[in-house]
Structure 1
Amino acid sequence: MQLVIEATDLPGSSCPPGSNFPGYDNIHVAVQRRGALGDLLDLHPGDATTARWVLECKATPTPTGLDITGPYVQGRPGGRFVYLSWGSIGRDGEFDMFRRAKLMWDGVDRATADAAAAAGRITARLGLTDARGNPLCAAVRPPLIEWSA
């Protein structure tokens, strides 16, 4: 099954300092591979109009719903998610992660998950700027993300 992530409303290439937030420049976002903090898929600049990722996953029916696995799917059964990692790129070209958003699979309702398994594709649509104007972080569930088959 394909998991397609379509993102809009990126926060820009920099964000100013705030309480408990030092501020960053040259911001980028990517999907993080499971178990490999520095292995990032399709890095997008924070000032891009949109960002899109396509992940190959395996969908397995279980008594409690649909479980997904794959190289970019994190967590244990019942707690699966995909990390969008935010970082700044320094003059040396290195990505320095400063926060992550967890796209939580448990936010997908059963009917949508079943329809997606039958179709072989599920799409997640979300904006990537939080209420403070910074890169979206923490656990992301509806209504911040829309899942569709």
Structure 2
Amino acid sequence: MQIRIDAFDLPGRTCGASPDFPGYTNIHVAVQRKDRRDELLDPQPGDGATAAWTLDCTATPGPQGIDLKGPYIQGRPGGRFIYLSWGTVDEAGTFTLFRRAKLMLDAIDSATVDAATRSGLLLGRLRLTDAKGHPLCAAVRPPLIEWSARPR
């Protein structure tokens, strides 16, 4: 099975400072590998029209429903999630994390996960700019993300 994350409305490559945000330049976003904060899947510039990632995973029936596991899925059964990591990229190409969005897989309704297990693809669509115009962060659940099953 695969999980595809389709993102739109990115905040920009530069976000200025505000009272609760220090401001950053050359912003990028990527999916963080499980338990490896510095290993990122396909960093995308913050000023892109869209960003997308496709993750391989396994879907195993468990006591709390279908358990999704894979190299980019974090957390324990019943509390699994995917990190979207926001960072700056310097002239040497070094990514420096400054915030993360936590896409909560336990918030997906069971019918959608069941259908995705049969179809082969779980699609998550979300806007990556928050209400203040900054990179989206914190726990992300519907309605901030829309999950659906699609043919692979």
The one-letter code of the counterpart of 1:141 is R
Over 6 Å off, 4+ runs:
none
1:35 maps to which residue? 35
Aligned-residue offset at 1:136: 0.2
What secondary structure, in the 3-state scheme, does the structure 1 residue paired with 2:77 have? coil
2:49 maps to which residue? 49
Structure 2: gaps spanning 5 or more residues: none
1:96 matched to 2:88 = no
> How many angstroms apart in 2 are the aligned matches of 1:64 and 1:78?
6
> How many angstroms apart in 2 are the aligned matches of 1:47 and 1:85?
15
The one-letter code of the counterpart of 2:112 is T
> How many angstroms apart in 1 are the aligned matches of 2:8 and 2:56?
21
1:148 maps to which residue? 148
TM-score, normalised by the number of residues in structure 1? 0.98
What secondary structure, in the 3-state scheme, does the structure 2 residue paired with 1:143 have? coil
> How many angstroms apart in 1 are the aligned matches of 2:67 and 2:41?
22
The one-letter code of the counterpart of 1:36 is R
2:64 maps to which residue? 64
The one-letter code of the counterpart of 2:57 is C
Aligned-residue offset at 1:92: 2.5
> How many angstroms apart in 1 are the aligned matches of 2:24 and 2:33?
23
Coordinate RMSD, CA, aligned: 0.7
1:1-149 to 2 correspondence within 5 Å? Answer: 1-149=1-149
- Corresponding residue pairs, total: 149
> How many angstroms apart in 2 are the aligned matches of 1:76 and 1:64?
11
Aligned-residue offset at 1:122: 0.4
Alpha-carbon displacement from aligned partner over 1:73-126 (angstroms, at most 9, x marks no partner)? 000000000000000111222101000000000110011011011111100000
Aligned-residue offset at 1:65: 1.2
The one-letter code of the counterpart of 2:132 is R
Structure 1: gaps spanning 5 or more residues: none
The one-letter code of the counterpart of 2:70 is G
> How many angstroms apart in 2 are the aligned matches of 1:22 and 1:95?
17
